[in-house]
Amino acid sequence: MTIKQKILLRLGIIYLMFGGLVLVILFELVKLKIFEVSKWEDKAKTLESSSIVIDANRGNILDENGKKISLSVPSYRIYMDLMANGLTSEVFNAKIDSLAICLSRFFGDRSVSYYRNDLIRARKNGERYHLVHPRKISYIELQEVRKFPIFRRGRNSGGFIPQQYDERRLPFGSLAARTIGKLYGDRSKGGMVGLERAYDNVLKGINGVSTWKRIAGSWIPEEEIPPHDGKNLITTLNIELQDVAEQSLLHQLQLHDAHHGVAILMEVQTGAVKAMVNLHRSAPDVYIEDHFNYAIGEAVEPGSTFKLASMIAALEDGKVRLTDSIDTGNGAYRYYDRIMRDSHHGGYGKITVREAFEKSSNIGISKIIFETYRDNPRRFVDRLYSMGINKPLGLEIKGEGKPVIKYPGDPSWSGVTLPWMSIGYEVKMTPLQILSFYNAVANNGKMVKPMFVKGISQHGKVLREFEPEVLNPSICSVATLEKVQDLLKGVVERGTATNIRNDVYQIAGKTGTAQIARGISGYQGDDGVEYIASFVGYFPADRPMYSCIVAVNSPSNDVYYGNVVAGSVFREIADRVYALSYEKLPPEETKPKVTEGVFPWSKGGPEDELSVIFDELGFPVQSRELNTEWVSTLAMEHAVKFRPKPLPGSLVPQVKGMGAKDAVAVLENRGLKVAISGVGRVVRQSIEPGTPIKKGQTIVIYLE
């Protein structure tokens, strides 16, 4: 045999071997697909596995005292596996009548024959997950259903499948419902609104997984990853104070047939929101909480409550004194093509700045701002911005309305913007933003972010505590603060809100009555002009503990003034809260004697002016005779010491530590132009001290 023949023989053998292997494989495939299909299907049934998600228990939402204000309550729907391995025809046929009787009696809405026929049909169709009844049942009812014929055999032998659903419940009904929020029906979507949404990741926990394998007709647990329950949310809300606020507001809304209303109660020092009410008219005399969070989301023109910001600006810039006179005329005043009016018929005539604020004179306040800032409106708006009222509060609850305070140069800015802005028009703020501003005045100038949550807990242990967040450490100087605090007291003692004055404790605040803008149609709607009546303030005025705002939208019956509609709600809330919180009031402050402790710090300035001030206050001064015009001060333990502050004429002087007035005087006397940034005392200057002076050069001084 030649070499070629040997090679061909070997290749032939290899081809035959591969051909035979292919035939064997084809034979096994045909055998498997046609002749043994039933055998392997039966085998597969004995090896089925199933993974079941185990829902984590959602955490509770608690009020500040630990009362549950939102919690999960389990409910169940009953399903049935009509093809369960242990559910034989003998068992099913013997007990189906008894099961149908029990179901009909339990649910009480369908006949025995209906349930019997329905289950027989489902078994005939081979249904593995048949809904027995759409109604959800409680845990106690579940225990009763478990005892029904067939069901008592369990899942494997009776096909009984209870499906658990967690339903969110509010034990106190509508109280704070909008603030608490709610969930979608599908829990995977998380919180829908309010705190439920804001803290969904904290509340929902982590789901577990249970894996089951079916062997020889029985389900055997194979592996389980346990769920991690959600944590509890400890809010700042007080359900008792929430009830007080809601009942007080509800009564007034019904009395005046208003469209909706808001009431917010806040703790002054921390910004903790104790109560937040949002009531909306759903039917005559019927008001519900579950509609929209007006307190957070509705930014509108605030009207006269904004006059406080205007007064702070004018006082802070030293443009006006409370004793100055201003002529408000006969109650009508023209700005270009528009006429501004006071609510008092015939006007107030010539009054002081203090009276203009306390009586809420539109003309008085607008003339102060217009005459002061007409040539430099940016200065006015910059002052408002420095208070921080143009910025959102940055709340964790979604949907905060954006504050709008126009800036000169804005396309909508016009000649009448400045006077109308000064009285709360052509600006927008939400009730909570306005309250936070007034709360800062009560809190000695410190603006804090409203708090809704004070901590997170689990199994009775506090895991995390939240601290107050400062948004602006000082909205204005101490001197201005003391003046406007006095003005707010005057509103209640002598001004537009004397109807809420009382002899037990003092209230400080401001009324507001604002027309509601209707877009391009102005303020005139189909039913005439509508109003928002509001009152915002704090109490007790001498030791502020709580601040509060009440706003009532579209009151009818021809009564729409803030002092009557909103002020009376404020007074009712304040009375009841004061009675509940009297023992918690901080002690009255006592001023230390001048002989105690370290003496007060003061800005540097002219020696003769500082001497007059310290002599008037009774503070001893050291080193008076320095033969220098300008001095700096040093606070010592038993006296204030003057130190010389040389100001050479040919060099840029050191003005650090001076107030704006003195610094400007010194620099301008040396031929420099001065630009000011900030409020307070000089902490930095753009041109270094000792630099040769160039006449007409601009120097920027930075104040804090």
In tens, the pLDDT along 224-254 reads 788 888 999 999 999 999 999 999 999 999 9
- What is the tens place of the pLDDT at every residue in 425-446? 999 999 999 999 999 999 999 9
Instruction: Specify the pTM.
Output: 0.72
Nearest to 233 by CA among 280, 275, 197, 190: 197
pLDDT of residue 49: 64
The pLDDT of residue 643:
67
Adjacent-strand bridge partners of 79: 131, 161
- Residue 541: the pLDDT is 95
Q: Is 2 helix (H, G, I), strand (E, B) or coil?
A: coil
pLDDT at 680: 77
Q: Give the chain's count of helices (H) and strands (E).
A: 22, 33
Q: Identify the sign of the CA torsion 275, 280, 282, 283.
A: positive
Q: Extract the residue ranges of the chain whose pLDDT is less than 70.
A: 1, 4, 30-52, 184-191, 212-223, 518-528, 557-560, 582-604, 622-630, 632, 634-638, 642-649, 690
The continuous run of DSSP H or E covering 369 comes out as helix 362-373
Q: Report how far residue 174's alpha carbon sits from residue 194's, in angstroms, rounded to the nearest whole number.
A: 14
How many whole angstroms separate alpha carbon 393 and alpha carbon 543? Answer: 25
Q: Which CATH number fits domain 605-703: 3.30.10.20, 3.40.50.720, 1.10.10.10, 2.60.40.10?
A: 3.30.10.20
Cα separation of 213 and 46, whole Å? 9
User: Tokens 């009730």 sit at which residue?
Assistant: 431
Q: What is the DSSP letter of 344?
A: S
pLDDT at 33 (0 to 100): 66
pLDDT at 319: 86
pLDDT at 596: 41
Paired with 553 in beta bridges are 260, 532
φ, ψ of residue 521 to 5 degrees: the values are -85, 5
pLDDT at 606 (0 to 100): 74
pLDDT at 21 (0 to 100): 79
**What confidence score (pLDDT) does residue 585 get?**
60
**pLDDT at residue 290, as a whole number:** 73
Token output for 282: 């759903």
Give the architecture (CATH level 2) of 49-67+172-235: Alpha-Beta Complex (3.90)
Is residue 75 a contact partner of residue 132, using CB atoms and an 8 Å limit? Answer: no
Backbone angles phi, psi at 355, to 5 degrees: -65, -35
Let me know: does 424 contact 301? Beta carbons within 8 Å.
Answer: yes
- Nearest residue to 267 via CA among 294, 298, 292, 235: 235
> What is the DSSP secondary-structure string of 494-529?
TSTTGGG--SSS--EEEEEEEEPP-GGGTTEETTEE
Cis peptide before 540 (omega within 30 of 0): yes
| Size (the chain), residues | 704
Report the CATH fold assignment for 239-584. Beta-lactamase (3.40.710)
Q: CB burial class (10 A; 0-12, 13-18, 19+) of residue 294? A: buried
Task: With H, G, I as helix, E, B as strand and everything else as coil, classify residue 40.
Answer: helix
